[in-house]
Every structure is written in structure tokens, then in C-alpha cells.
Amino acid sequence: MNRKILYFVALFSISFSFAQKKLLEKNSTKKTNPIINIEVGCNVSIPVHIMMFRTHGLAIGANLRAWKTISPQVDLGIKLDYDYRFRKKTDEILTSENTIKERASHRNYSIIAIKSNLQYNTKSRWFLGAEIGVGFAISDEDSKIGLGFVSEYGGPQQFGLNSGMYLGKYFRVSKDTNKLGISLDLIQFMAHGHAENNLGIKLKYRI
């Protein structure tokens, strides 16, 4: 678990460094249309698949998105996500006699994902986005099993197709527009034809 927390802190540190750099650039230049834009965020989510919901609950995460405006209303970018999901407490006592699959089903796990991202922005500051890429799952029980405790995967499952859709709105911050945003996100990890879905709320800030 300590390693996962370090990953979480590291991603936030990277995001903070980007924020500092962009703010310094903004204060030292009169350019109003940067080539690459940066957005940082954090989120909470819960699993919506009934089997996963029985063993795991809330997840916290950090996000970093870099994008370029390709039209007045469309952004094209790349996104890095990190989510750490907590197990639900259980009265079941697990020992070394249990299988690794059984033990992993009652341990925290994390998913690191990198995805291409497309976002449509309206004039009223609402936005709709879609993304797709690859996700890498790490279980606190054993990093090699990933999400292999899910019965449909039938064995260790570290890599999967990671995709998502989201709907949200940006709000004014001081004199700036479209800086602070909030969205409802549906994220999916898919492998061998089976998908594990998560529904979450994401808070984001455009630097």
C-alpha cells in the first residue's frame, strides 16, 4: 500500500510542477494561445459491477491531461490517470492456505492508465469527452495478478483496454473562464470480453 501511496503522491507532484511551470510561463509571456494546454485533477469513484462492489468500494485518483485545441470547440489530447481502490472490510479471515485469487479479492489495488482523449466544448461551458487507451492493474496482494481475482478473467490480468466517457461543466474562477470543471465519468477496464466499470466524480483545473 505504501508504494501505491507514493505513486499517488508522485502524480500529484508532477501535476503541481506542471502547474507551477505554466503559471510562470503565463506571467512571463503575453501569449494567449499556448500550443499545449495542461489540465490537472482529482477524482473519487465506486465500482458499478455487482461482483466488484461486494469486495471493493471507494477509489481516489489523480489525473493529468495535455491537449491541443484543433477547432473552436474540440480538444485532442493525451491523459494519464492513477486510481487507488480500497477493499471493503470483511469478517472473513484469510491465510496462506487461501489461494492468491481469494486473498487478492480482499486487498486494495490500483490502476494506471494512459489514454488518447477527445473533448467537445459548448459555448455554455458544458463539455463531453471520450477516451481510450491501455490500463495496468496492480494488486496489493501480488503485483502480477492485477485484476486476476475477477472470476471472468480466469487468471492474472495486469493489462486491459481502458476507456471512458464523461459529461461535465466548467465554471468561472475570478476573471478567467473555463478554468475549474467538474464531471461525471464512466470508466471501463476490459479484457477477454469482460468489463469492470466505475462511476465517479472528477474535479479538474485548466492551467
For residue 51, the model assigns a pLDDT of 82
Q: CA 59 to CA 44: how far, in whole Å?
A: 5
What is the set of domains in the chain, with CATH numbers? 2-206 (2.40.160.20)
142: Cβ contacts below 8 Å, ≥ 6 apart: 100, 104
Q: CA 2 to CA 78: how far, in whole Å?
A: 28
Radius of gyration of the chain (CA): 19
For residue 22, the model assigns a pLDDT of 55
Q: CA 140 to CA 7: how far, in whole Å?
A: 13
Task: Output the DSSP codes for 68-87.
Answer: EEEETTEEEEEEEEEEEEEE
pLDDT in tens, 18-42: 555 555 555 544 445 678 999 999 9
All three cell numbers of 67, joined, read 491537449
Low-confidence ranges of the chain (pLDDT < 70): 1-33, 176-177
Q: What does the CA dihedral 140, 142, 147, 150 come to, rounded to 10 degrees?
A: -100
For residue 207, the model assigns a pLDDT of 85
Q: Which of 85, 118, 84, 116 is nearest to 11 (CA)?
A: 84
For residue 12, the model assigns a pLDDT of 58
Task: Output the DSSP codes for 31-66.
Answer: -SS-SSEEEEEEEEEEE-SHHHHHHEEEEEEEEEEE
Question: Strand, helix or coil at 26?
Answer: helix
14: Cβ contacts below 8 Å, ≥ 6 apart: 64
